[in-house]
Amino acid sequence: MPYRRLPNTDSARMKSLKSAYEKGKDLPPFKLAFSANSFRKMQMLLPQFENAISEHKNSLNLQAEKNKEYQKRLKKVKLYISHFIQVVNLAISRGDLTPETRNYFAMGEDEKKVPSLITEEDVVWWGEQLIKGEQHRRNKGKNPITNPTIAIVKVHFDKFMEYHNHQKSLKDRSQRAQVNLNERRSQIDGVIQQIWNEVEHTYSDLPEEMRREEAGEYGLIYVFRKNELSNATLFQSPRIEEIG
């Protein structure tokens, strides 16, 4: 015996709801297979659900689009941070700077390796340390480190931070959109289940095949089990595509 399957994608939810919505618009309340209360809920929640889907999709698309330029900026500032530290280490190796110079940049005096710049947090932290450290050196009358100078490093760091903060805001927006969509899905699933229960109750006295056919017009989806497929096919309204 086939069983009904509630929609498990947003596309399927929308198709099911719109099938029921069209019935609600076309039929007078006394001929409708579900209650006026359910129809009012659907009228209220359907546009909210559509907007939530659209906002979630748009926020993800914008985040992905801006991420391309962000990754370029991240790669560039990593190079400048790395090169600045390498220049400091080379100058110390030549004797042009003392090992104590590394202390200005939050490095140990004997630390000769370029620090890890794996995460964005690493890049932010080291960028800030280099800028503060070189400013401190210059305030003490020390000669500037060049090729690159800290001014050039700061230009790329500031531009990176601009993109970094913007990307973070886009990520926060996407997360808010996801939370809102999840809430709307929960509400929509409740309305769909309520409508389906009412439709099945309305047609409960009909023969099984006729009951499925009438219910299918309201967006209900029935699925045959594997051992039933040899004698039957998946039945659904022409408006509803197979799910799963």
Residue 97 lies in a domain: yes
% of the chain at pLDDT higher than 90:
85
Q: Which of 88, 78, 81, 129 is nearest to 109 (CA)?
A: 88
Which pLDDT belongs to residue 229? 60
Name the more confident of 1 and 130: 130
Confidence at 224, pLDDT banded by 50, 70, 90? confident
Residue 195 covered by a domain: yes
Predicted confidence band of residue 1 (pLDDT cuts 50, 70, 90): low
- Three-state SS letters, 118-160: CCHHHHHHHHHHHHHHHHHHHHCCCCCCCCCCHHHHHHHHHHH
pLDDT of residue 119: 95
The rounded percent of the chain whose pLDDT value lies above 70 is 92
Would 41 be classed as within a structural domain? Answer: yes
- The pLDDT, as a whole number, for residue 4 is 84
What is the reported pLDDT for 231? 54
Query: How many domains does the chain fold into?
Result: 1
Tokens, residue 180: 């809102």
How would residue 230 be classed by pLDDT, with cut points 50, 70 and 90?
low
Domain assignment present for residue 242? The answer is no
Average pLDDT, the chain: 91
pLDDT in tens, 70-95: 999 999 999 999 999 999 999 999 99
pLDDT confidence of residue 223: 85
Query: For residue 244, what pLDDT is reported?
Result: 33
Domain that holds residue 40: 34-202
* Residue 213: C-alpha distances to residues 83, 202, 219, 222 (Å): 71, 13, 10, 10
Q: What is the pTM of this model?
A: 0.76
Residue 139 burial (CB < 10 Å; 0-12/13-18/19+)?
A: exposed
| Residue 153 within a domain | yes
At residue 240, the pLDDT reads 37
**Residue 233 pLDDT > 80, yes or no?**
no
The count of other CB atoms within 10 Å of the CB of residue 226 is 7
Task: Evaluate whether residue 5 is within a structural domain.
Answer: no
pLDDT at 51 over 50: yes
The predicted-structure confidence for 191-215, as pLDDT tens digits, reads as follows 999 999 999 999 999 998 899 999 9
Rounded distance, CA 200 to CA 189, Å? 16
Instruction: Answer whether 13's CB lies under 8 Å from 5's CB.
Output: no
pLDDT at position 226: 72
**Is 139 within the bounds of a domain?**
yes
Residue 221 placed within a domain: no
Confidence of residue 237 (pLDDT cuts 50, 70, 90): very low
Q: Please, are residues 198 and 37 in contact by the beta-carbon 8 Å criterion?
A: no
46-to-14, 15, 149, 241 alpha-carbon distances in Å: 8, 11, 58, 19
